[in-house]
Chain A
Amino acid sequence: EAQVTQNPRYLITVTGKKLTVTCSQNMNHEYMSWYRQDPGLGLRQIYYSMNVEVTDKGDVPEGYKVSRKEKRNFPLILESPSPNQTSLYFCASSLLAGGSYEQYFGPGTRLTVT
């Protein structure tokens, strides 16, 4: 089954404790992206990657890191989480060929930073 998986689905942590949210896709997509969803703000793009070892900042990259060492994986790293990073996080992937970038989304990770 074609899918994007994220782990963990739920995470409660404390300020300053480094964490990683994993994202993996099995569709051989070149493009992967991370978003955060906050009430009234919709989805905001954090980082995206056009292929292995190629990443770039979205609209809200501060406080986040990413890496793309393999085509299928795109982990999101919070080196020192803060309460304002409490949010619902989505990973997504798409093909680049054809130019449409129709996104396939993971199920989401709900993060709470206390």
Chain B
Amino acid sequence: AQSVAQPEDQVNVAEGNPLTVKCTYSVSGNPYLFWYVQYPNRGLQFLLKYITGDNLVKGSYGFEAEFNKSQTSFHLKKPSALVSDSALYFCAVRDGYKLSFGAGTTVTVRA
């Protein structure tokens, strides 16, 4: 069975500083990995995905993620955080037709 771990419940950064949200995964086959973002009182929005190819994946709103097979990680990154990036972030892994999400990481970017 597949699973996802987001080891940090909260991440706090100052605006303009780099932002990293951590994710590790466990899956039996090839990993299909995703990041989603949830703004307050909204549904989830797709940010980016890793299916195959380059280990550095670029997505929406200036976010990118680095796939590391040996460490089974898929950390989300943004070089310079904005206050508007404050939200709840979810990592997810697909195994067959099933999707598993992590518990989520709340990101707060202070001005």
Contact residues of A with B, CB < 8 Å?
A: 4, 31, 33, 35, 40-45, 48, 50, 56, 58-59, 90, 92, 99-108
- Residue A105 contacts which of B6, B45, B94, B98 (CB distance < 8 angstroms)? B45
A90 to B92, CA, bound (A): 15
10 chain-A/chain-B pairs, Cβ below 8 angstroms = A45-B101, A48-B99, A90-B44, A92-B44, A101-B94, A102-B46, A102-B49, A105-B36, A105-B44, A105-B45
B97 at the interface (CB under 8 A from A): yes
Report chain B residues within 8 Å CB of A90.
43-44
A44 to B2, CA, bound (A): 12
Report chain B residues within 8 Å CB of A42.
6, 90, 101-104
Q: Are B100 and A41 in contact (CB under 8 A)?
A: no
The interface bits of chain B over 25-66 (1 if a CB of A lies within 8 angstroms of the residue's CB, else 0) are: 000000010101000001111100101000000000000000
Which residue from chain B places its CB closest to the CB of A58 in the assembled complex? B98
Which residue from chain A places its CB closest to the CB of B96 in the assembled complex? A56
A63 to B32, CA, bound (A): 29
Contact residues of B with A, CB < 8 Å?
A: 6, 9, 32, 34, 36, 42-46, 49, 51, 90, 92, 94, 97-104
Report chain A residues within 8 Å CB of B9.
40
4 new A-B contacts, CB < 8 A, other than A43-B44, A103-B36, are: A45-B98, A102-B49, A103-B44, A104-B46
Q: Are B97 and A100 in contact (CB under 8 A)?
A: no
- Known interface pairs A42-B90, A43-B90; A103-B46 also in contact (CB < 8 Å): yes
Report chain B residues within 8 Å CB of A40.
9, 103
- Residue B32 contacts which of A4, A101, A104, A107 (CB distance < 8 angstroms)? A101
> Closest CB-CB distance, B39 to chain A, in whole Å?
12
Which residue from chain A places its CB closest to the CB of B102 in the assembled complex? A42
- Residue A106 contacts which of B36, B43, B104 (CB distance < 8 angstroms)? B43
